[in-house]
Amino acid sequence: MREAGPELIGPALMAFTSRARGPRPAPACHPVSQRVW
């Protein structure tokens, strides 16, 4: 997942967080979300 570009990580991360916690933006505590956003 780190090898993919931001254009791929962004939507994938949003889809993952939406499945895990419902329609909500990525948590700021997530290290990947800090790099992407």
Higher pLDDT, 13 or 25: 13
Mean pLDDT, rounded, for 27-31: 57
Per the listing, tokens 């090898």 go with 3
What is the number of domains present in the chain? 1
Average pLDDT over residues 15-32: 59
Question: Is residue 11 in a domain?
Answer: yes
Q: Distance between CA atoms of 18 and 15, rounded to whole angstroms?
A: 5
Answer whether 22's CB lies under 8 Å from 15's CB: no
Please indicate, yes or no, if residue 30 is contained in any of the structural domains.
yes
Residue reference for tokens 């931001």: 6
The mean pLDDT value of the chain amounts to 60
Within-domain flag for 27? yes
Q: Is residue 10 included in any domain, yes or no?
A: yes
Q: Does 1 fall in a domain?
A: no
Q: Does pTM surpass 0.75?
A: no
